[in-house]
Structure 1
Amino acid sequence: MTLVIEGAYIATVDSDSTEHPTGHVVVDGNRITAVGSGPAPADVRAESQIFDGTGCLVTPGFVNTHHHLYQWVTRGHAVDDPLFEWLTELYPVWAGIDERAVNVAASAGLAWLARTGCTTSTDHHYVFPREGGDVFAAEVAAARTVGLRFHPTRGSMDLGRSRGGLPPDDVVEGRDAILQATSATIDRWHDPSADSMLRVAVAPCSPFSVTAVLMKESATLARDKGVLLHTHLAETADEDAYCRERFDCSPLEYVEDLGWSGEDVWYAHGIWFDDAEIARIGRSRTGIAHCPSSNARLGAGIARARDLRDAGARVGLGVDGAASNEASSLVEELRHAVLFARARGGPQALAVREALEMATNGGGRHSRTHRRPRLDRGRQARRPRRVAAGHDRPCRHR
């Protein structure tokens, strides 16, 4: 059945910012086949289901570039705490999740995303309780039920509190087990086809919960398999202080030194970057998941979305976990992106249509499968060591 939407205001968000105050959209199967002004051609209308969109706005589907769907079941905890204290309270709670809880949480979170215009969502799942069952399969099943295109990431933590990390030892995994499970997850679930509804990325959690060795080996694994890389970065001043004390460098310098930059990488949050770092992120075309509501809820700060966009970074929007947001609304993130940018930089800091571009094409640029040549297994592969510009010594990787 062909569907025709007529009479709506249509914002295509294409490269020319084309808009039709009264236009039509033709959808044939899973493809948009025509967009234009006025009603659809008579021969198309004759064999189509017609939807009257008068008074409505039609845009491309929103893309959610960062989420923790399992957190839907722990909303309302630690409501006045900053990130590190909030995590410290919630890690023991999350240690008890199982596949049923994850399926229920993911179903609710994805359904609310769909209600607010989201058609594609990622998820950063990094808690895998030993008795929790197959939690990754549980969220995949939820996405299929709701009907969203899904780009979940196989997250991980291997740096427990006894070794200087933030999470308790009983919620982290061993490095070898993580790499084996991540490889198996990609092999089982990742679909790189053009019509794919399910693609997998690799996502060690953060500098304070993952070792440098796991970061390096995860990057090698992802690039060998042609999938994307994701991690939390530069979210709070506490994280910045942790990296400078432990590694003698900033969070960005730390991950750059481990090979974590480029068009196959996107960072969640990206608040605590200086001018030189923003310029480097732009040159490398690394992506940023801007999560304004969660950043405000935790008092983490306001990402410099305007500056990152101007530098050439790929900036999309993310809800982040419902436990640090209390919602799963992409349209609310679009609104907050505008408000917080203007609160920081004045009334012209970010236009509404620029925020719409971030919610659609900006996020879509994060979701493309990245392919690199596979390594020649007949010889030892050696990847170039990255040192940040202006950073004349490597970070200390303890």
Structure 2
Amino acid sequence: MNPMPIVIDGATVVTLDRTRREFTGHVVAEGNRIVAVDAGPAPAYDGARVIDGRGCLLTPGFVNTHEHLYQWVTRGLAADAALFEWLTTLYPVWAGIDGESVHVAAQAALARLARTGCTTVADHHYVFPRGGKDLLEAEIRAASQVGLRFHPARGSMDLGQKDGGLPPDSVVEDRDEILAATEAAINRWHDPSPDSMLQLVVAPCSPFSVTGELMRDAAELARRTGVRMHTHLAETTDETDYCRDHFGCTPLEYAAQLGWTGSDVWFAHGIHFNDAEIARLGASGTGVAHCPSSNARLGAGIARVADLRAAGSPVGLGVDGAASNEAGSLIEEVRHALLFARARGGPDALGVRTALEMATLDGARILGRESDIGSLEVGKLADLALWRLDTLAHAGIPDPVAALVLSTPPPLELLLVNGQPVVEHDRVVTIDESALAAQVAQVQNHLLTKAG
């Protein structure tokens, strides 16, 4: 831990604190915590590193509530396919992943997320081919190397094609094996402390790749060990048809029967909920990870974000897997969330500050970290993003939040995670991006050759 205080002075500061203060001023981090947030010039700090924030906007770091890091090495495939066709095309390729390929993919996806303002990532990893070694450990190691706060969700699939599921049998696991591996991962890795850089999540994949028995047992495991719960739900109309055909109910009704609602649960996508279901989600505090770019890429639809938020459901943002969102950019999700909400619900459906809140405070709430991250306040963890807005693309826009959300993604002057620089002058400083890009290309070629 670097003991030198870091002073960011002269920036426009959007705190997202309880009173939503915004001002030109300073923020100071000492160790991994914020020690000062105020208007006006910063006082002198002995031995401090002072960063000139003039021309910049300072925000809390972004929280990515849904990702599949391993998919970074399978981008660009099935480019014109809907979800089920896309999955059946990619499952044979994913069946070849191993510790090395997952580590390379995770490093690359995390580095890209860092460049787009992300400081905390919830990753949903659910493909564990036989002989693939410890893929969760490969991702955890990558997150530590890049320097991001990490919430890996130990995913699983136990419903293969021979039993009526979508995934090939080569990538599904036995239910008892899944539960034992998940609990072992929690015992080994989960850190519940306020300063935590690593917290585990229990995350069966989806209703069409997981048995009801596993869903029910996974919920019991999560609540017994005190970790949160995550799964895909209501992403496509095909999924709704599948649930009606197999279970005689909607995806949410099915999930609720198995114990999958509550403030410790969040669903990825959540596009196809009706009015009564949205009210139910809000009343129970169940969260949703909104993934607008991936949903558009796969033609799945547009989530009812404004309705979900109005009902009381926390809605965060996710980039989803890089194989269905090749950009992998969290700042783009902020803009797309706003544009798609307005395309669906009119100009008042979502404001620029609400979109920014979804990327920060709402994401923190979904992960149970709102006391530690999501706003710039004294005592919170020093996870923050300094955006340069004096560029040609942004200069002259009087509202800096509108400039951030509505214009092209601005250069990232600085990204601090836990008080440590991860990005400086729009460059990741913790890994070699050029060398990593070459590794990504090699790994994808290997996987495609392996899949035939």
- With the length of structure 1 as denominator, give the TM-score of the two structures: 0.91
The CA deviation string for residues 206-247 of structure 1, in whole angstroms up to 9 with x for no partner, is 000000000000000110000000000000000011001111
Q: Is 1:37 aligned to residue 29 of structure 2?
A: no
**Equivalent pair of 2:240/2:250 in contact (CA under 8 Å):** yes
Once residues 307 and 109 of structure 1 are traced to their aligned partners in structure 2, the CA distance between those partners, rounded to angstroms, is: 31
SS of 2:366 mapped into structure 1: coil
Once residues 15 and 328 of structure 1 are traced to their aligned partners in structure 2, the CA distance between those partners, rounded to angstroms, is: 30
Once residues 180 and 302 of structure 1 are traced to their aligned partners in structure 2, the CA distance between those partners, rounded to angstroms, is: 37
Q: Which residue of the partner structure matches residue 91 of structure 2?
A: 91
**Equivalent pair of 2:319/2:329 in contact (CA under 8 Å):** yes
Pairing of 1:81-160 with structure 2 (within 5 A) = 81-160=81-160
Pairing of 1:1-398 with structure 2 (within 5 A) = 1-20=4-23, 22-42=24-44, 44=45, 46-368=46-368
**Equivalent pair of 1:227/1:369 in contact (CA under 8 Å):** no
Once residues 366 and 101 of structure 2 are traced to their aligned partners in structure 1, the CA distance between those partners, rounded to angstroms, is: 28
Shift of 1:49: 1.3
SS of 2:218 mapped into structure 1: helix
**Equivalent pair of 2:100/2:138 in contact (CA under 8 Å):** yes
Amino acid in structure 1 at the alignment position of 2:19: D
Shift of 1:197: 0.4
Amino acid in structure 1 at the alignment position of 2:13: I
SS of 1:324 mapped into structure 2: coil
**Equivalent pair of 1:192/1:369 in contact (CA under 8 Å):** no
SS of 1:268 mapped into structure 2: strand
Amino acid in structure 1 at the alignment position of 2:224: D
Identity over aligned residues, as a percent? 69
Once residues 332 and 267 of structure 1 are traced to their aligned partners in structure 2, the CA distance between those partners, rounded to angstroms, is: 21
Shift of 1:331: 0.3
Q: Which residue of the partner structure matches residue 379 of structure 1?
A: none
SS of 2:195 mapped into structure 1: coil
Q: Which residue of the partner structure matches residue 390 of structure 1?
A: none
SS of 1:221 mapped into structure 2: helix
**Equivalent pair of 1:4/1:26 in contact (CA under 8 Å):** yes
Once residues 346 and 284 of structure 2 are traced to their aligned partners in structure 1, the CA distance between those partners, rounded to angstroms, is: 28
Q: Which residue of the partner structure matches residue 386 of structure 1?
A: none
Amino acid in structure 1 at the alignment position of 2:268: A
Shift of 1:337: 0.3
**Number of residue-to-residue matches in the alignment:** 367
**Equivalent pair of 1:6/1:51 in contact (CA under 8 Å):** yes
SS of 1:25 mapped into structure 2: strand
Unmatched tracts of structure 2, length 5 or more? 371-452
Where has structure 1 moved over 2 Å in runs of 4 or more? none
SS of 2:197 mapped into structure 1: coil
Unmatched tracts of structure 1, length 5 or more? 371-398
Once residues 361 and 299 of structure 2 are traced to their aligned partners in structure 1, the CA distance between those partners, rounded to angstroms, is: 28
Once residues 208 and 107 of structure 1 are traced to their aligned partners in structure 2, the CA distance between those partners, rounded to angstroms, is: 29
Q: Which residue of the partner structure matches residue 395 of structure 1?
A: none
Shift of 1:41: 2.1
SS of 1:323 mapped into structure 2: coil
Shift of 1:15: 2.1
**Equivalent pair of 2:130/2:170 in contact (CA under 8 Å):** no
Amino acid in structure 2 at the alignment position of 1:30: N
Once residues 97 and 353 of structure 2 are traced to their aligned partners in structure 1, the CA distance between those partners, rounded to angstroms, is: 39
The CA deviation string for residues 341-380 of structure 1, in whole angstroms up to 9 with x for no partner, is 011011111001000000000100111279xxxxxxxxxx
Shift of 1:14: 1.5
Amino acid in structure 2 at the alignment position of 1:36: D
Amino acid in structure 1 at the alignment position of 2:14: A
**Equivalent pair of 1:226/1:369 in contact (CA under 8 Å):** no
Amino acid in structure 2 at the alignment position of 1:39: P
Q: Which residue of the partner structure matches residue 373 of structure 1?
A: none
**Equivalent pair of 1:25/1:34 in contact (CA under 8 Å):** yes
Amino acid in structure 2 at the alignment position of 1:142: A
Amino acid in structure 1 at the alignment position of 2:208: F
Shift of 1:140: 0.4
Once residues 126 and 208 of structure 2 are traced to their aligned partners in structure 1, the CA distance between those partners, rounded to angstroms, is: 13
**Equivalent pair of 1:261/1:284 in contact (CA under 8 Å):** yes
SS of 2:158 mapped into structure 1: coil
Amino acid in structure 2 at the alignment position of 1:215: M
The CA deviation string for residues 144-202 of structure 1, in whole angstroms up to 9 with x for no partner, is 00000000010000001111111111110010100010011111111111111000000
Shift of 1:47: 3.8
Once residues 154 and 9 of structure 1 are traced to their aligned partners in structure 2, the CA distance between those partners, rounded to angstroms, is: 39
Amino acid in structure 2 at the alignment position of 1:152: P
SS of 2:66 mapped into structure 1: coil
